């Protein structure tokens, strides 16, 4: 009898022993999109598509992400934002596509890290690039130092929420951005020397309204050119201001021309964005994105970039003020437009 009792007790101990708990190897990603523009969200790392997530008719989505911890880009084929993924956490995201970056909100366990990335993204987008690169060397250096300090302080304050690789990549990216701005500053100084010289030209760019357009077709009028792309946040911020300027100067001796330097695989996104944002003026698609001869001749290595030409095709400004700047209307008035 004792042997039987002992055997039963042993069996009970074995039966009550907890099963080994396996670590959670995924991130739960849920949310809702207001005014959705697509039936899917795409998660990208670099140039690689990592995951596509279905979005239902109400804009609701839910999926498990079995991907490495780190920073990713999420987009709906029109606009994009940064998300930070960490295994075993639940990230819930809401946004309105009419505002996108500005409307993104996060809840759940992964909210703090993602709110940090939202702050960092807005710091970059709200930097007044035009003013920064338009002054002298001393003011440029001072402005860069102030921006970097604020960005790195924000990053360091939330670094415990991120993995070390992501923190290192953010530091690297801000150094790269500072280098790019220094190149833009140098380019702007060189562009000032081109005033009054004949403009580089472009030929037979696809016109959204149909057919093709060359710069020679516009001779006889002032031409204000906007070099932009569908993926460029600062470019899209200028669109409402550009439409206002176009409306104010409608019927006067000036053409407003927007040239997309998107890659060919973004052609459909270009077509759709012009319709969705009701963009006006002459809408053209460059023949080889940033490698188009017109872009290369003007040393366009960052966008948005604005150019003003006179009726004879000579350069008034190879780096003109943005539509959001009051300096643009001053410049146009000085030309007698």
CATH code, domain carrying 310: 3.40.30.10
Same domain? 224 vs 313: yes
DSSP state of 36: -
* Order of strands across the sheet that contains 80-85: 48-54, 40-45, 70-75, 80-85
| Residue 47 covered by a domain | yes
Same domain? 38 vs 86: yes
Cα–Cα dist 243/84, whole Å: 35
Same domain? 176 vs 213: no
Domain finish residue from 191, 214, 239: 191
Q: Residue 64 is part of which domain span?
A: 27-107
What pLDDT is stored for residue 59 in this prediction?
94
**Would you tell me the crossing angle of helices 233-248 and 111-125 to the nearest 10 degrees?**
40
- CA distances to 174, 188, 239 from 257, rounded to whole Å, are 32, 21, 12
Q: Where are the alpha helices (DSSP H) in 135-232?
A: 137-157, 164-191
Cα–Cα dist 57/263, whole Å: 30
Cα–Cα dist 219/255, whole Å: 10
What pLDDT is stored for residue 213 in this prediction?
97
Same domain? 278 vs 225: yes
Interstrand relation of 70-75 and 40-45 (parallel, antiparallel or unpaired): antiparallel
Q: How many domains does the chain have?
A: 3
Domain finish residue from 169, 191, 213: 191
Cα–Cα dist 143/181, whole Å: 11
Nearest to 55 by CA among 8, 16, 97: 97
| Residue 22 covered by a domain | no
What pLDDT is stored for residue 23 in this prediction?
58
Q: Give this prediction's pTM.
A: 0.57
Q: Which residue has the tokens 């995951």?
A: 51
| Residue 157 covered by a domain | yes
| Residue 308 covered by a domain | yes
Contact 88, 27 (CB under 8 A): yes
Same domain? 167 vs 93: no
Contact 172, 164 (CB under 8 A): no
Same domain? 322 vs 286: yes
| Residue 202 covered by a domain | yes
Same domain? 290 vs 228: yes
Same domain? 84 vs 147: no
The dihedral through the CA atoms of 31, 37, 42, 44 has a sign that is negative
| Residue 203 covered by a domain | yes
Nearest to 79 by CA among 52, 105, 101, 59: 101
Interstrand relation of 222-228 and 254-260 (parallel, antiparallel or unpaired): parallel
Same domain? 260 vs 182: no
Domain finish residue from 107, 140, 166: 107
- How confident is the prediction along the chain (337 residues), in pLDDT tens digits per residue? 444 444 434 444 444 444 554 557 899 999 999 998 889 999 999 888 999 999 999 999 999 999 998 889 998 877 888 899 988 889 999 999 888 777 889 998 889 988 898 888 889 888 888 788 888 899 999 999 999 999 999 999 999 988 898 899 999 999 999 998 998 888 888 888 889 999 999 999 999 999 999 999 999 999 999 999 999 989 999 999 999 999 999 999 999 999 999 999 999 999 999 999 999 999 999 999 999 999 999 989 889 999 999 999 999 999 899 999 999 999 999 999 9
Same domain? 199 vs 327: yes
What pLDDT is stored for residue 11 in this prediction?
40
């Amino acid at each position: 009898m004792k042997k039987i009792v002992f055997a039963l007790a042993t069996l009970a101990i074995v039966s009550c022993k907890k099963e080994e708990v396996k670590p959670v190897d995924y991130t739960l990603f849920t949310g809702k999109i207001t005014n959705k523009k697509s039936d899917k969200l795409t998660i990208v790392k670099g140039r690689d598509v990592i995951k596509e997530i279905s979005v239902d008719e109400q804009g609701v989505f839910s999926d498990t992400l079995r991907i490495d911890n780190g920073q990713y880009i999420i987009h709906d084929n029109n606009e994009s934002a940064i998300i930070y993924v960490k295994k075993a956490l639940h990230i819930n995201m809401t946004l309105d596509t009419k505002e996108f970056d500005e409307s993104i909100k996060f809840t759940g366990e992964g909210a703090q890290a993602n709110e940090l990335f939202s702050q960092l993204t807005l710091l970059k987008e709200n930097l007044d690039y035009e003013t920064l690169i338009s002054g002298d060397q001393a003011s440029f250096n001072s402005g860069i130092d102030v921006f970097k300090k604020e960005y790195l302080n924000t990053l360091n304050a939330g670094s415990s929420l991120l993995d070390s690789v992501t923190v290192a990549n953010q530091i690297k990216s801000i150094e790269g951005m500072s280098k790019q701005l220094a190149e833009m500053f140098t380019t702007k100084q060189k562009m000032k020397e081109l005033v009054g010289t004949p403009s580089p030209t472009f030929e037979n760019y696809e016109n959204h309204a149909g057919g093709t357009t060359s710069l020679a077709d516009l001779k006889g009028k002032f031409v204000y050119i906007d070099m932009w792309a569908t993926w460029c946040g600062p470019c899209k911020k200028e669109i409402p201001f550009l439409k206002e300027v176009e409306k104010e100067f409608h019927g006067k001796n000036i053409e407003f021309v927007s040239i997309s330097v998107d890659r060919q695989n973004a052609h459909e996104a270009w077509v759709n964005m012009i319709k969705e944002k009701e963009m006006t003026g002459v809408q053209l698609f460059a023949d080889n994105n940033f490698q188009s001869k017109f872009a290369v001749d003007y040393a366009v290595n960052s966008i948005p970039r604005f150019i003003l030409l006179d009726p004879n095709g000579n350069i008034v400004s190879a780096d003109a003020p943005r539509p959001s700047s009051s300096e643009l209307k001053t410049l146009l008035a000085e030309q007698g437009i």
